[in-house]
């Protein structure tokens, strides 16, 4: 029996058409992104993998994607599963700028049982030696594969399968940009063969306590980036803007300069939840006597942008330190 896969196109490089095949850097200036149906028509080989059908969504530059788009995608995925009893999986095309954030947000909130794979590309669909077509074919292979079930939201680029929680973009233009620095990939796609080599232990969709359908908005959470001489003006501005939480992207292994620390202490005293992450790109921020004294919460090994998402979802439920620590140890 032929598997049925839904393809949702949200725009991004994977949908982009430049001025010619050598336009692989400044193609965005051409302002041409194909809708999902046209992408499938441009890559007819996907139909050799499964029965792929296009789902309209709207092309959005990925720097513009946030809560409203996450909520709409979540609702659309649920609708597709309800309306297609034989649906084997869902593939979401996405720009790479915020791909990891959308994937993690959906991995924390989706309520569907079928595999969901987020895919992008580093070169436009029209580019010479573009990775867009192969990434799309492989994403469909992963979505259709029975071993993809129960793994939450997955990310596929460069023949590599990654967990949404663990993957991050590490280079501006290189094809191997998406990496999981601490743990590595879950598996590969080599031709028609999908191979998994490990599982993640953190709870992921659909078995989570979060549901975007129940939210009108996310609490404001900002990121304070540590740098030599930082004086905390950014932190004070975030508090003045109404931040309910602040993630400190600190020096490794998890600290900020004195001026920012002082401002973060003022924020915590005012009731803002302060979370300590690191700008290092990998590694864990542990609970410590110093963080406990300051009233800050360690971000585990989540990078700042993902810690921000989980903290925002957590703050929709609680502001209690121990409960937020439980949430970060769970997801």
Domain boundaries, the chain: 4-196, 218-330
Mean pLDDT of the chain: 97
Query: How many whole angstroms separate alpha carbon 162 and alpha carbon 174?
Result: 17
Q: What letter does residue 135 receive in the DSSP assignment?
A: H
Give the tokens for residue 19.
């001025």
Percent of the chain residues topping a pLDDT of 90: 99
Give me the half-sphere count of Cα atoms (radius 13 Å) on the Cβ side of residue 208: 32
Average pLDDT of span 82-87: 97
- Chain centre to alpha carbon of residue 108: 10
Q: Active site includes 278? A: no
Alpha-carbon dihedral sign for residues 134, 135, 136, 140: positive
Residues 201-239 pLDDT 10s: 999 999 999 999 999 999 999 999 999 999 999 999 999
Q: Looking at residue 122, what is its pLDDT? A: 98
Give the tens place of pLDDT for each residue, 52-69. Answer: 999 999 999 999 999 999
- Please give the structure tokens belonging to residue 137: 């074919």
* Predicted local distance difference test score (pLDDT) of residue 224: 98
Topology (CATH) of 4-196: Rossmann fold (3.40.50)
94 Rama class: left (phi>0) / alpha (psi -120 to 50) / beta: beta
Q: What is the pLDDT of residues 85-127, one digit of tens each?
A: 999 999 999 999 999 999 999 999 999 999 999 999 999 999 9
Q: Considering 10, 13, 98, 168, which one is annotated as catalytic? A: 13
Q: How much is the pTM?
A: 0.97
Beta strands in 73-173 (DSSP E): 87-93, 116-119, 153-157, 160-163, 168-169
Provide CATH code, domain 218-330: 3.40.50.40
Same fold, 4-196 and 218-330: yes
**DSSP secondary structure, 47-90, as one string:** GGTSEEEEE------GGG-SHHHHHHHHHHHHHHHHH-TTEEEE
Q: Compute the distance between CA of residue 118 and CA of residue 194 in angstroms, rounded to an integer.
A: 16
At a CB cut-off of 8 Å and minimum separation 6, what does 95 contact?
A: 10, 11, 12, 13, 14, 61, 62, 63, 65, 120
- What pLDDT, on the 0 to 100 scale, is given for residue 94? 98
């Amino acid at each position: 029996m032929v598997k049925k896969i839904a393809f949702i196109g949200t725009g991004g490089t994977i949908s982009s058409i430049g001025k010619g095949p050598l336009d692989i850097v400044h193609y965005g200036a051409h302002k041409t992104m194909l809708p999902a149906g046209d992408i499938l028509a441009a890559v007819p080989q996907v139909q050799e993998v499964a029965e792929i059908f296009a789902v309209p969504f709207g092309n959005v530059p990925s720097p513009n994607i946030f809560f409203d788009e996450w909520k709409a995608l979540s609702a659309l995925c649920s609708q597709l599963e309800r309306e297609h009893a034989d649906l084997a999986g869902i593939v979401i095309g996405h720009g790479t700028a915020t791909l990891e954030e959308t994937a993690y947000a959906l991995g924390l909130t989706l309520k569907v049982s079928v595999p969901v794979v987020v895919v992008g590309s580093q070169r436009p669909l029209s580019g010479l030696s573009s990775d867009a077509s192969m990434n799309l074919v492989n994403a469909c292979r992963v979505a259709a594969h029975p071993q993809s079930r129960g793994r939450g939201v997955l990310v596929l680029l460069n023949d590599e399968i990654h967990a949404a929680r663990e993957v991050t973009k590490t280079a501006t233009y290189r094809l191997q940009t998406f990496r999981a620095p601490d743990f590595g990939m879950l598996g590969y796609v080599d031709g028609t063969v999908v191979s998994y080599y490990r599982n993640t232990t953190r709870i992921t969709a659909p078995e989570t306590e979060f549901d975007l359908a129940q939210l009108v908005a996310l609490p404001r959470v900002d990121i304070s980036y540590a740098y030599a001489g930082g004086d905390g003006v950014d932190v004070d501005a975030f508090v003045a803007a109404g931040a309910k939480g602040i993630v400190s992207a600190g020096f490794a292994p998890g600290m900020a300069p004195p001026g920012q620390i002082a401002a973060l202490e003022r924020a915590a005293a005012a009731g803002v939840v302060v979370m300590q992450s690191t700008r290092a790109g990998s590694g864990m921020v542990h609970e410590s006597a110093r963080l406990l004294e300051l009233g800050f919460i360690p971000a585990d090994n989540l990078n700042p942008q993902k810690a921000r998402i989980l903290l925002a979802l957590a703050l929709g439920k609680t502001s209690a330190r121990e409960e937020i620590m439980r949430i970060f140890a769970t997801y």
